[in-house]
Amino acid sequence: MQQPVTASPAVKTGKPFLTERRLSSLMAYLFISPFFLLFAVFGLYPILFTIYLSFYKWDALGPMKYVGFKNYDLITSDPTFWISFLNTLLIGLMGTVPQLLVALVLAVLLNSAMTRFKKGFRILFFMPNITSIVAVTLVFSTFFGNNGMGNWLLDLIGFDPVAWGSGFWGVKIAIATMIMWRWTGYNAIIYLSGLQSIPTDLYEAAKIDGANKRQQLVFITLPLLKPFIIFTVLMSTIGGLQLFTEPYVYLGQSGTGSTREEGITMVVYLYSEAFRNGFFGTAAATAVMLFIITIIFSVINMWVSNRLGGDTGGSKA
């Protein structure tokens, strides 16, 4: 079919039959061409082919057979698909909503004029984010072992132990905790840079006009922080829906490589359909569904975060 291109753009030197102007745009096209070549082969073509593939039955080896919407019927009537959908949403919500709120609080604290050692705190808060997801998952699986620190702490404050590795909520809380730990500091620093971009004289003017702390927050801070909030909400939405490594590693220690139902996410479902069961058609249909869901949720979340701050919509820093 399409011949994949090995992109190694040699830099050609223009020859005098070109005018300076044309040479200049030719060079510009040359400079940007590696991206477009690679994207054509490893981005655009695979996306189109995924959509095409979702209407075929295929095991990646034999001939492809057109089946219409059968793959979509198959996955939507598979309870595991819906479990993976529900899990993805629940873990996504549990991992990101509290996280963004905590990040906002940390950012406000860090931005306060009376806080010292700002740079030091920023570095410490950001440290979890450089750790690989695999490493995070391994460390937290010691916390959430049956006799691990998590249950010890619960016992200390008088609660029964929780089955972090197999319970419906236990698994989800464990995975959401891993997400929170890795991303809270990152988002706090994004918010902090947003807060720092708000001119201080705005607050002074508001104070002269008699605005109290709460009014300053609602009418100045939140509206001006809006682009940053939209950015983090969007990134968290996309990241949350693509959740794979945490559940795959955390629940895959049985040696069979399969993931427990409590933690199966949509991408885990996709991965096992394709690379474990060899059903490339249904896996492609899952990918298309995931993409549609991503668009829907991104639009909803953008709309919601855009309404934040009430009637002050449209003001930009």
CB of 208 to other proteins, least distance (A): 11
Choice between 122 and 172, CB closer to other proteins: 122
Write out the binding residues for other proteins, residues 60-89 only, by CB under 8 A.
60
Binding mask 146-165 for other proteins (x = CB under 8 A): -xxx--x-------------
Instruction: Report if residue 109 touches other proteins, rule: CB under 8 A.
Output: yes
Cα–Cα distance for residue pair 126/187, rounded to 1 Å: 9
Q: Which is nearer to other proteins, 276 or 307 (CB)?
A: 276
Could you say whether residue 290 binds other proteins (CB under 8 A)?
yes
For the packed helices 133-143 and 168-196, what is the interaxial angle rounded to 10 degrees? 130
Q: To the nearest whole angstrom, how small is the minimum distance from the Cβ of residue 234 to other proteins?
A: 8
Residue 190 and residue 232 in contact, taking contact as beta carbons nearer than 8 Å = yes
Rounded to the nearest 10°, the torsion over CA 70, 73, 77, 81 is 90
Asked if residue 315 binds other proteins (CB under 8 A), the reply is no
**Residue 25 interacting with other proteins (CB under 8 A):** yes
Q: For residues 174 and 180, give the distance between their C-alpha atoms in angstroms, rounded to a whole number.
A: 10
DSSP string, 214-256: HHHIIIIIHHHHHHHHHHHHHHHHHHHHT--HHHHHHT-TTTT
Q: Is 291 in the site for other proteins (CB under 8 A)?
A: yes
When the beta carbons of 137 and 172 are compared against other proteins, the nearer one is 137
Q: Give the residue, chosen from 80, 193, 215, 315, that forms a contact with other proteins under the rule CB under 8 A.
A: 193
φ and ψ at 57, to 5 degrees? -100, 125
Smallest gap, in angstroms, from Cβ of residue 90 to other proteins?
19
